[in-house]
Structures are given as C-alpha cells and as structure tokens.
Amino acid sequence: MNQILDEQAPATAIQRADYSAPAWWVDSVDLCFDLDPIKTRVLNKMKLRRNTDLPVQALRLDGEELNLARVLVNGQGSTFKMDGNQLVLSNLPDECELEIFTTTCPSKNTKLMGLYVSNDSFFTQCEAEGFRRITYFLDRPDVMAMYSVTLRADKAKYPVLLSNGNLVDSGDLEGGRHFAKWVDPHKKPCYLFALVAGQLVCREQRITTRAGKDHTLQIYVRSGDLDKTEHAMNSLIHSVAWDEARFGLPLDLERFMIVATSDFNMGAMENKGLNIFNTKYVLASQATATDVDFSNIESVVGHEYFHNWTGNRITCRDWFQLSLKEGLTVFRDQEFSTDLAGTASARAVKRIEDVRVLRTNQFPEDAGPMAHPVRPDSYVEISNFYTVTIYEKGAEVVRMYQTLVGRAGFEKGITLYFERHDGNAVTCDDFAQAIADANPSSVLPSLLPQFKRWYSQAGTPRVSAQGVFDAASQTYTLTFSQHCAATPGQTEKLPFVIPVVLGLLDANGNDLPLQLEGQDEIHTGSQRLVLTEASQSFCFTGVNAEPVPSILRGLSAPVVLAFDYSDAQLLHLLAHDSDPFNRWEAGQRLAVNRATAAINDSSANPAALDAAYIDAMRAVLRHPTLDAAFKELVLTLPSEVYLAEQLTVVDPQRVHTVRQAMREQLAIELKADWETTYAATQETGAYTPDAVSSGKRALCGMALTHLCLAAVAEGNDQWPAIALQRFKNASNMTDRFNALSALVGSGHALAIPALEEFHALFKNEALVLDKWFALQVTAPDVGGNTLPNVKKLMKHSDFSLRNPNRARSVISSYCQANPAGFHRLDAAGYQFWSERVLELDAINPQVAARLARALDRWSKLAEPYRTNARQAIARVAAKSGLSKDTQEVVTRALA
Ligand code: PHE
Ligand code: ZN
C-alpha cells in the first residue's frame, strides 16, 4: 500500500480558511508494537465517538507507507475502502471500537518520520504528520486521546523500552523477548506520541520541586556517552525550576525523559514526557563541545521542556497555528537563557545574539519567495513551515505583547491563557485574547485587532524616522513612517502596531528626561512609544540642545529602522548609549555604511575603513569595563548575508572581498591591541561554560584569528605557530577549535597538519567530526579550491548522506555558510547544489527541502549568478517524482 505520487500533478495546497472540526473524536488509543527492524507489527485499538455537532460523515484515517492487514469494528470484520492515502469507513455506529492491524519496515525508513532505526535502536518522530506512518489515524492536532502502549522486542537487542507517561507493567516473554506497558495520564494529540527501544544507558536525577512533588529526570544515551550528559541534566533541572518560578508552571509528570539519537531531522522534539533529541543538543563535555554548544544545549533543553505547557498542555488547533506553540516557546527559552545569564551585560549579549539570528535568517526569508505570515494561510507541505518566521519572528511577536503590557502583565496573561484553555487545542487568536483580557487597563485591548496584523501580514516593516530639533521652542520632534514591501500573495499592507522603545542622549552621552508635549509624565531613561499609523510624530519638550536619538532599544519590534545617522552620532551612541543593544547596533551601522559604500563603488579600494572607525573599535577593545563577550560582538563585522540584504543587487564575490579586506585591515591596524587582548584573555582557569568565561574565550579566539590573518598578510609565521601550540595544548574544545579555525581561516599551511591531528584525536566523536567537516567546507575559497575539497570530503570514509547532521555539515555548510565558495562564476556551486538536492530528496525530503532553500535569494543576485542560479532551480523543479517538500520550495522560488 505504498504511496505512489502522480509525477506531474502539482501537490495541492491546504488552506487555513478550510478548517473544520473533526467528524470523529478518538477518546482512547491502545497500541501494541512487536518491534522488528524489518517488519514491525502494530495493533491499534481506538475508542471512537462521532462528533455530533456535525452532520454524519464517514471516518477517514490517514496512513502512509503502511501495510494494512486487518480492520475490525467492535470485534467484527468490516468493509472499508481506500481513497488515496486515506482509509475510509462508512456507516459506523456513533460510538465504536476500531481495531487496525498494520506492519511497517523501520529499517528502510530513511525519511526519519514515523518509526525508524538509528544505530540499532528504534525511535519515532511524529510531528507534524509522522504518526500516520505508524498506524492509520486522525492525524491532526485537535484530536486528543488517552494512550496506553505495549512494546515487545528482543530483550538482548532492545533492553530499554520507553514510551510516554508511566511504566505500569513489564516482564519477560517467550523466545528471549520482553515487554513494557506505558500509560500516559494526559490526553494528547498523536504528534506527541513517542517510543524508543534499544541499548541505552541513563543518567538519573530525583528532584523535589517548590510545590513539594518528587520527580525522576532521566537522560538516555548510547553507552559511551553518559559522561557527556551532565550539562543537559543541569539544564533540565534549571528549566523545571525556572518555569515554576517565572510562570508558576510546574512539572506535571512523575517521570520526565530525554533520549538522544544521532539521526534526527531537526533539533529536538517535545513528545509528552519522552523528549527525543538530536545528540547535538544533549551531549557535551569540555573536551568535545564548544561554549556555543553548551549554550545551545541549555536553550534547547529549556525549549522542549517549556513545550510541556506551551504546546502539550495547550496545543494547536491546526498546523496553521504552529507559532502559537513555537513562537511562544522560543520566547520562553530566550527569557530562560537571559535570566540564567545573570548580569545586565550578559543579558544584553543574549539579546544581541538572538537579534543576529533574526536578522540574518528571518529577515531574508521575509523578503524572499518563501515569505509567509507568522500564521500562514496555506501550505503544501507543513514540514516546510518549521521556519525562522514561525519560530523567531513568532517569538518577537510574543515579546511585543510583553513590551506592551509589561512583564507582570504578561505573566497574568499566561495565567489566564491556562485557566481558559488548559487541555485544549486552540488558535493564535485565543492566545492574543487571553493576554489582552488579563490586561484591561493596558494599551493592548484597544490595539488588539490591529496588533494581530503581525499574524496575518508577511514581510519586515521598514520604519523610517527623522528628528527635528527646534532651539526656539526647545523641542525635539521625531517623525516615524512605516512601510512594508509586497510579499508573495500580499501586495498591499496595512500599518502595524510597532512598540518603539527609545531614549535621547545629551552631549555627554546621558539619557535626557523625556516628556511628550501635552503630557505630565516624565520618563527617565527609556520611553515606549507605540506606532499605529503609516506616519506619525512625537514632540519631546524641554530639550535645550540637539540630542542623539537612540531608537528601537533592544530591538523592541522586528522591523528595520532607517535613520540618517551621521558618523558623529553613531560614534556617540557607540561610546555612551545606556542601552547596550543600541550601543552594539551603532557599531554595526558604522560598519554597514562603510561596507556598502565600498561594495557599490567597485572602483574603490575594498579596504574601506577610516581612522575614525578603527579608533572607535580600538577604544572598545581597550575599554576598561566592557565585558569580553560584548567586545567580541561589537568587533564582529556584519555577516556577508546581512550585508547582502542591505543591497539591491548582490555580487557575492564583491561582498566577500570587501568584508575580507575590512577584517584584514582591522587585523593589521589593531595588531598591538589584539596582542594585548590575547594576553589578557588566554587563560580562563578551570573550564566552566558560564557567560563571563565563555565571553573571554570568544574574544581570545577572535584576537588569535586576527593575529593569524595579519601574520599571513605580512608573511610572518609567529602567530600561526602560537595558534598551533594553543591548538595542541588546549584543555577544552572551545580553545582548541578556535585555534584550529584561526589557522584554517588564515589559509596558513600549518592548518593542514592541525586538521589531520584533529581528525586523529576525535575520529570516534561524531559531533566533533561534524565540526571538522564544516570547518573545511567554510574555509576561504583560495583559487576556487573549496568545491573540489567538498567533493573530496564527500568521498571520505566518515561521510554519509543518510545522516542529517553529517550531510548538513558538509553540503549545507558549503552551500549556505560559504557564499564566496558557493557563488562561483562558473556556476559549478549551483550545479553541485542541484545534484545534492535531488540525491537527498530520494532519501530524506525534509533535509533536501531545507538545502533547496540555499538559493532563495537568487533574484537579488547580479549577473551571471542570477541566470545561472535560476537555471539550477529550474533543473531541480523539472525532475519528476520530486517530494512535495522540495517541489513546494522550488516552485515558490521560480514563481
Ligand atoms: N517541535 C520541535 C520543536 O520546536 C521541532 C520539530 C518539528 C522536531 C518537527 C521534529 C519535527 O521543539
Ligand atoms: Zn519548539
């Protein structure tokens, strides 16, 4: 009963407007699995109840790549028919028990959706629509049922048998087999179902929460990996405590399990009580993981744990509401990491990092062919909509509620949301209403209808601001106008509600007291304005000299701010702004202005930096009180992707040349300061991944990178030799990898033996090998050597196309993180891309469709890149038998 797709038929789009409640409810599900890699038997007994609110309809169950053996209704054989992938049963009694017996082949499941085998263990992945690959079911999130699950398997090969909820029974069976029975005390949608079976070991921790309840936390991994689970366990313990303290949301399970697998399409999955994680977001030791890995693990463990309430207790009515759980849960994990970071400076660093992700990934998505609203109106394949728009922009929308109603008001809103909707499948509108109703005296209720345009309109609004100082009346008037460009299917946009947090700096760099004309209130420091019109003005009184405005502090809305700052104003903000985010932002603007000017004037010297800029950067490096982490962010030039977004036509080679020249200039002109910085940061003592010491290591790595760059430019071997020694002697992966990257990034010959040594040291550590591959394919493209190197690495015995992490470390890193290596004049990079997309599509459509997005921004490219890129996309689109996933991406790209 394998699915055969009509090759030519374009896959049909599902419309949000077509939503209707399910014709049947599933009250309980009793599943029994006989696990076998070649042929797993699945017996599914469901108690069904007709939805009597609707006219009588047949029961339609989804199924994919299943072998159907038997269907019984109330114990009797029954007639049914197949309609495409659906099993259709008509004339059922209003309440009945349905028994369906199917088999599947987990070892052939390379899509990693449904039940699959990884390293001889069984795992499942059901979100969004994977449960239908396990059994016939009403595979939609608004059908919530109680589950009991019996697992049977060979005891020697699969000693650990896990599913959601509580273990209620287990024991031995004939023939060396055993069983375990699990009952989940919470009803749930089928996308939260999970099972795991295999040879796994676990770290266990008992905790007592504030509420006085005892819980068991467990992290399951392969036997050699137990020593790499301490950080994930600590992150989990912190997550439990934080959600209780900040939102009053306790752990509702006796047992909470995390299982790591090395074959996983995404980061991790919040299955009820049994989270399944990509090993990348669980395993860490100081020898194998970098500070960034440690911090990602903390975020992802938090994220999945927080889904237990925002996602699982209250879930989505339909997949168009995906951001209801994802945007909210990203916001929660951002707040969690921010609160754990501690100091004001560390909190700001976290915000800058989050904004960088938003701007380098989501803003381009919102300006490209895949642009979609936070609550999309249609999709062909829902897997394509697990995007930075749903996640990161969705989190910004949630953040704006908090900005509008305040932190305490937001917490009241969350409380009301759970009072109203706990145990239900709801919509983004329900969430918005709860936040507004909990804050009746705030600005939100009256703005809510307009605020909701953030859910319906795609695209990044551009806010232009102008300031006029009037000495006679001692006023400063800021005029804002907002505009949002057309996106696919949406030509006209209505004004958004845009909270603008701002301050005005006086000549000494202090915040002026703020008083709006006609208002009594005086704000010290920052004030929050709210834009609602296409254009509007705000007049501040009592201003006796022209101030420097610090607008959109903390990026108070996901918009682009255009303000015609002079260099002097930006330097003033960089030196003094009380808002560390805008202080960083001022440095970025200085760099962007210089980079874009040099890029656009191809006759100009690409080394675009003037003394004022270099002196400002020197002052930051030498600053006595700024944290290392903050310095590292300020000294990091805007990425090539971010710079490209500021241009109308993009020549990727020119962008790279200019940015590289700027880096070299910073390397050479600040050499003495890099040396001092290196000396001051090279020792951080016993390794801990906390914000302060990881900031020091980051700045130290940056210094070493610049010193190696300067050395190569000047034909001097001293610093590469120091980097090699540091590489060899490092006591943690952050320092070791930073030293290796400094060598590889500088193109110095010592990189070659260092890479060999690194491989020899870590040949048995899959996650470290991923870094080793990725570093090489993102190396500077000297004489076009990157692509041949990528091809060579694909022949390496450690390479595998079937493992998503490994495929991404080589192919996606090359196509998406090395613009100058990828956008070749001879189009060989695009040719390579189209071949890999097609090759991967036959194995794992989700991984292929993500890679397919590497050419999203093709229409912005200069010739001949533009034409060549389009042709490569067209070649992919012309292939027959393409998955819905990839077909949707390339069709939209060509539209
Ligand atoms: N729901 C997961 C998360 O964000 C992501 C995910 C989606 C994982 C689909 C697997 C498949 O936490
Ligand atoms: Zn999530």
pLDDT at position 3, please? 45
Spatial contact of 849 and 814, defined as CB atoms under 8 Å apart: no
Kindly list the distances between the CA atom of residue 763 and the CA atoms of 204, 738, 754, 778, in Å, as whole numbers in the listed order.
29, 19, 14, 20
95 forms bridges with which residues in the sheet?
49
pLDDT of 266 over the 50 cut: yes
Residue nearest to atom 6 of ligand 1 (CA): 269
Atom of ligand 1 nearest to the CA of 386: 7
> Which pLDDT belongs to residue 603?
83
User: For atom 5 of ligand 1, which residue has the closest CA?
Assistant: 269
The pick from 123, 124, 127 for probing ligand 1's pocket by mutation, whose C-beta has the most ligand atoms within 8 angstroms, reads 127
Residue 550: predicted pLDDT: 99
The residues, ordered by sequence, that sit 6+ positions from 516 with a Cβ below 8 Å of its Cβ are: 527, 538, 539, 540, 541
Q: Is a pLDDT exceeding 50 seen at residue 5?
A: no
What is the predicted pLDDT for the residue at 11?
Answer: 83
The two three-digit tokens of residue 200, written as one number: 């796994």
Statement: residue 2 has pLDDT above 90: no
| Ligand 1, pocket-test mutation among 276, 386, 391, most atoms within 8 A of CB | 386
Q: Which tens digits make up the pLDDT trace of 756-790?
A: 999 999 999 999 999 999 999 999 999 999 999 99
Helical spans, DSSP H, in 464-579: 567-576
pLDDT at residue 663 is higher than 90: yes
Residues, beta carbon < 5 Å, ion ligand 2: 326, 329
Tell me if 630 sits within 8 A of 580, measured CB to CB.
Answer: yes
Q: How confident is the model at residue 9 (pLDDT cuts 50, 70, 90)?
A: low
> What are the tens digits of pLDDT across the range 288-327?
999 999 999 999 999 999 999 999 999 999 999 999 999 9
* DSSP H or E stretch at residue 143: none
pLDDT band, very low/low/confident/very high, at 6 (cuts 50, 70, 90): very low
Which pLDDT band, with edges at 50, 70 and 90, does 700 fall under? very high
| pLDDT of 7 above 70 | no
Determine the atom of ligand 1 nearest the C-alpha atom of 130. Answer: 11
Where residue 202 falls among pLDDT bands split at 50, 70, 90?
very high
Give pLDDT, residue 606: 79
- For the Cβ of 276 lying below 6 angstroms from any atom of ligand 1, the answer is no
C-alpha distances in Å from residue 216, one per residue of 252, 302, 402, 785, 890: 12, 17, 33, 52, 46
Return the higher-pLDDT residue of 462 and 684.
462
pLDDT of 684 strictly over 90:
no
- Note whether 354 and 336 are within 8 A (CB): no
Mutate to test the pocket of ligand 1, among 133, 270, 282, 392 (most ligand atoms within 8 A of CB): 270
- Cβ neighbours for 729, distance < 8 A, ≥ 6 positions apart: none
pLDDT in tens, 489-545: 999 999 999 999 999 999 999 999 999 999 999 999 999 999 999 999 999 999 999
pLDDT tops 60 at residue 669: yes
Q: pLDDT tens digit string along 277-291?
A: 999 999 999 999 999
Which is more confident, 210 or 624?
624
Q: In this predicted structure, what is the pLDDT of residue 4?
A: 43
- pLDDT surpassing 70 at residue 378: yes
The b-or-e profile of 344-356 (16+ CB within 10 A means b, else e) is ebbbbbbbbbbbb
What's the chain's average pLDDT?
97
Residue 391 above 80 pLDDT? yes
Q: What is the pTM of this model?
A: 0.98
Q: What is the pLDDT of residues 21-64, one digit of tens each?
A: 999 999 999 999 999 999 999 999 999 999 999 999 999 999 99
| Residue ID of nearest Cα to ligand 1 atom 11 | 127
Angle (deg, nearest 10), helices 786-794 and 766-777: 150
Task: Return the structure tokens found at 33.
Answer: 């699995």
- pLDDT at residue 816 above 90? yes
Q: Whose CA is nearest to atom 1 of ligand 1?
A: 269
pLDDT score, position 685: 92
Cα(48) to centroid(ligand 1), Å: 28
User: What is the position in ligand 1's atom list of the atom closest to the CA of 307?
Assistant: 12
387: burial class by Cβ within 10 Å (0-12, 13-18, 19+)?
buried
Q: Is the CB of 127 under 6 A from ligand 1?
A: yes
Percent of the chain with pLDDT over 90: 97
ipTM over 0.95: yes
Atom of ligand 1 nearest to the CA of 311: 1
What span, in angstroms and rounded, lies between the C-alpha atoms of 311 and 336?
17
The predicted model gives 343-363 an average pLDDT of 97
Sign of CA dihedral 181, 126, 294, 228: positive
List the catalytic residues. Answer: 304
